[in-house]
């Protein structure tokens, strides 16, 4: 059989790049050829993987691209801090079309897997008569909720932000608040992101299917709903992070960026703690909190009485006024603050870690699942409030901190008592034990899913077979 060549094109955020690199590793481990198109600031992890023997191709395309009004220093999603920058950033992503099509012309791959935020790639794939698979980097659950939103706009049935509305048509009774959903749903085309979401929906008509970083046993009802009720072609081939550990290449903890803490120091600290006595707190690579919220979090962690590792992403480098007076001294023996990038997967998989306070980004959520730990869910923006529902109400492996407000930057509104309560609930007592037992169970299922003969393994086989037999539609078919 001819060797299939897959080109992967992530967008400019670590949460999008990390799983794409893992997907490329997965493809090569199954005998496919994989090439990643990356912008310069996201090329380093790929080069590193190549240097450690991984046979993945890399083509770097300049960003900001020619013709863009974006300042040269703005290269990643987390730098979209004003409406003007956001607008120029999204335009710059569109301007990648020409250079990327030149790359496709050169490489002539059999399939393009591209990020959700690059809807024009559906046209590019069509030009080269290859299938485009979309990668949304989230759960089936959240894909189902988003689709039900598009179809029924159930948030229009309530008159206030505090009145819950039911998401119709789902396998479980799921309610949300209007304040927990993205403004792009509420008013589709009001700004640049709204327009992008519209383009993403349009692109679906020209998209062959979707690869999903999940596994069937985790959310089978939603995988089924997405494919058979909503009617989308999709393949669940994850958790992709498990291929990372089994494939050599990078060590698990060297994902995304270089760690801001010496890993040996971090491990030594964890080694000094008993099993399940540390809570790990991290809100991913994009979310930010106001100073008031950081202070409340500190007080909540202190009041919880638990050991903790807390990853703090700051807005301003030298600004630490938010730390409560004497805090670091008081928690000296039981708290470790990491300022910057943490070796998250390494920490989560240490026996001392008993719970994970997460913003419910999908990569983090899956990392929590694969580590088998209960979670305290603290969603902030994007589709994180949906993932929270999956964890707390469907899987039963987490407890909500009670955030009610979707906010892109400087999130706040969760008080110290809520932090302390949720952390205690996830760490100690019968409820925590029960959640831990369920979490351990999902961890085992995740491992089995990616093994030979497992559900994700088989799903990838099915995808490879389908791609091998792909015949591009003729003009008549598309009319």
Residues annotated as part of the active site:
16, 115
Q: What span, in angstroms and rounded, lies between the C-alpha atoms of 108 and 126?
A: 12
* 261 belongs to the binding site for ligand UDP (CB under 6 A): no
* 25 belongs to the binding site for ligand UDP (CB under 6 A): no
124 versus 411: smaller Cβ distance to ligand UDP: 411
321 conformational bin, left if phi > 0, alpha if psi -120 to 50, beta if neither: alpha
CA atoms within 13 A on the CB side of 287: 25
Instruction: Mark the segment that binds ligand UDP (CB under 6 A) among 282-290, 325-333, 349-357, 438-446.
Output: 282-290
Three-state SS sequence of 382-429: CCHHHHHHHHHHHHCCEEECCCCCCCCCCECCCCHHHHHHHHHHHHCC
* Angle, alpha carbons 470-472-474 (nearest 5°): 145
* 117 belongs to the binding site for ligand UDP (CB under 6 A): no
What minimum distance in Å lies between the beta carbon of 252 and ligand UDP?
9
Query: Residues 363 to 422: which contact ligand UDP by CB under 6 A?
Result: 363-364, 367
Cβ partners under 8 Å of residue 232, min gap 6: 143, 209, 210, 226
What minimum distance in Å lies between the beta carbon of 388 and ligand UDP?
13
Q: Which residue, chain included where needed, has tokens 């369920």?
A: 438
300 versus 361: smaller Cβ distance to ligand UDP: 361
What minimum distance in Å lies between the beta carbon of 348 and ligand UDP?
8
* 286 belongs to the binding site for ligand UDP (CB under 6 A): yes
307 versus 363: smaller Cβ distance to ligand UDP: 363
Instruction: Mark the segment that binds ligand UDP (CB under 6 A) among 177-185, 277-285, 421-429, 467-475.
Output: 277-285
Q: What span, in angstroms and rounded, lies between the C-alpha atoms of 86 and 326?
A: 38
Positive or negative, the Cα torsion across 52, 54, 57, 63? negative
- Closest Cα partner for 324 from 289, 287, 363, 296? 296
Instruction: Mark the segment that binds ligand UDP (CB under 6 A) among 45-53, 195-203, 279-287, 401-409.
Output: 279-287
369 versus 449: smaller Cβ distance to ligand UDP: 369
Size of the site for ligand UDP (CB under 6 A): 21
Consecutive H or E run containing 108: none
154 versus 239: smaller Cβ distance to ligand UDP: 239
59 versus 348: smaller Cβ distance to ligand UDP: 348
What minimum distance in Å lies between the beta carbon of 285 and ligand UDP?
3
Instruction: Mark the segment that binds ligand UDP (CB under 6 A) among 7-15, 48-56, 145-153, 161-169.
Output: 7-15
* 14 belongs to the binding site for ligand UDP (CB under 6 A): yes
171 versus 183: smaller Cβ distance to ligand UDP: 183
* Of 34, 93, 118, 311, the one binding ligand UDP by CB under 6 A: 311
* Of 119, 131, 361, 368, the one binding ligand UDP by CB under 6 A: 361
Q: What span, in angstroms and rounded, lies between the C-alpha atoms of 22 and 247?
A: 9
Q: What span, in angstroms and rounded, lies between the C-alpha atoms of 339 and 397?
A: 28
Q: What span, in angstroms and rounded, lies between the C-alpha atoms of 129 and 123?
A: 10
- E strand spans, 250-352: 278-282, 307-312, 335-339
Q: What span, in angstroms and rounded, lies between the C-alpha atoms of 92 and 75?
A: 10
What minimum distance in Å lies between the beta carbon of 380 and ligand UDP?
8
Cα distances from 206 to residues 3, 78, 197, 400, in angstroms, run 25, 29, 15, 38
Cβ partners under 8 Å of residue 32, min gap 6: 3, 4, 5, 6, 464
* Of 256, 379, 398, 454, the one binding ligand UDP by CB under 6 A: 256
Residue 453 burial (CB count, 10 A): 8
* 15 belongs to the binding site for ligand UDP (CB under 6 A): yes
Greatest distance between any 2 Cα atoms in the chain: 72
What minimum distance in Å lies between the beta carbon of 90 and ligand UDP?
17
What minimum distance in Å lies between the beta carbon of 352 and ligand UDP?
18
Instruction: Mark the segment that binds ligand UDP (CB under 6 A) among 100-108, 281-289, 328-336, 464-472.
Output: 281-289
What minimum distance in Å lies between the beta carbon of 277 and ligand UDP?
21
Instruction: Mark the segment that binds ligand UDP (CB under 6 A) among 4-12, 172-180, 203-211, 283-291.
Output: 283-291
What minimum distance in Å lies between the beta carbon of 350 and ligand UDP?
14
* 255 belongs to the binding site for ligand UDP (CB under 6 A): yes
Report residue 408 as tokens: 């892109």
- E strand spans, 266-368: 278-282, 307-312, 335-339, 353-358
Q: Which residue, chain included where needed, has tokens 């993403």?
A: 200
* 344 belongs to the binding site for ligand UDP (CB under 6 A): yes
* Of 92, 342, 432, 460, the one binding ligand UDP by CB under 6 A: 342
List residues binding ligand UDP (CB under 6 A).
Answer: 13-15, 18, 255-256, 282, 284-287, 311, 341-342, 344-345, 361-364, 367
């Amino acid at each position: 059989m001819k060797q299939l060549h897959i080109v992967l094109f992530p967008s400019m955020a670590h949460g999008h790049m990390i799983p794409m690199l893992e997907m490329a590793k997965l493809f090569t481990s199954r005998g496919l050829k994989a090439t990643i198109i990356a912008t310069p600031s996201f090329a380093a992890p790929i080069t590193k993987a190549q240097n450690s023997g991984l046979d993945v191709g890399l083509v770097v395309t300049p960003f900001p691209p020619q013709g863009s009004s974006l300042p040269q220093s703005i290269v990643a999603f987390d730098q979209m801090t004003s409406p003007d920058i956001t607008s120029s950033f999204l335009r710059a992503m569109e301007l990648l079309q020409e250079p990327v099509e030149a790359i496709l012309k050169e490489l002539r791959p059999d399939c393009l897997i591209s990020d959700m935020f690059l809807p024009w790639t559906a046209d590019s794939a069509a030009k080269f008569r290859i299938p485009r698979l979309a990668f949304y980097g989230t759960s089936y659950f959240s894909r189902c909720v988003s689709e039900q939103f598009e179809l029924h706009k159930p948030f229009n049935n309530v008159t206030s932000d505090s009145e819950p509305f039911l998401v119709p048509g789902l396998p479980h009774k799921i309610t949300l608040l209007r304040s927990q959903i993205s403004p792009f749903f509420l008013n589709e085309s009001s700004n640049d992101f709204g327009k992008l979401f519209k383009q993403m929906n349009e692109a679906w008509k020209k998209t062959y299917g979707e690869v999903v970083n999940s596994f069937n046993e985790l959310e089978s009802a939603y995988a089924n709903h997405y494919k058979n009720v909503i009617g989308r072609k999709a393949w669940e081939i994850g958790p992709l992070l498990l291929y990372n550990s089994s494939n050599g290449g990078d060590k698990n903890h060297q994902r995304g960026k270089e760690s801001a803490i010496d890993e040996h120091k971090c491990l030594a600290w964890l080694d000094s703690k008993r099993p399940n006595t540390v809570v790990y707190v991290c809100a991913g690579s994009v979310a930010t909190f106001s100073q008031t919220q950081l202070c409340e979090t500190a007080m909540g962690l202190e009041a919880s009485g638990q050991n903790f590792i807390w990853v703090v992403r700051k807005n301003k480098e030298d600004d630490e006024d938010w730390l409560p007076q004497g805090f670091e001294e008081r928690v000296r023996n039981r708290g470790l603050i990491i300022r910057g990038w943490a070796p998250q997967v390494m920490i989560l998989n240490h026996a001392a870690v008993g719970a994970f306070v997460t913003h419910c980004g999908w990569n983090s959520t899956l990392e929590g699942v694969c580590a088998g730990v209960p979670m305290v869910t603290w969603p902030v923006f994007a589709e994180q409030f949906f993932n929270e529902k999956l964890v707390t109400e469907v899987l039963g492996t987490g407890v909500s901190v009670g955030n009610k407000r979707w906010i892109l930057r400087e999130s706040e509104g969760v008080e110290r008592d809520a932090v302390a309560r949720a952390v205690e609930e996830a760490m100690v007592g019968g409820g925590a034990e029960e959640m831990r037992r369920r979490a351990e169970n999902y961890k085992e299922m995740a491992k089995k899913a990616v093994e030979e003969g497992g559900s994700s393994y088989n799903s990838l086989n099915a995808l490879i077979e389908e791609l091998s037999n792909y015949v591009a539609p003729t003009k008549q078919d598309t009319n």
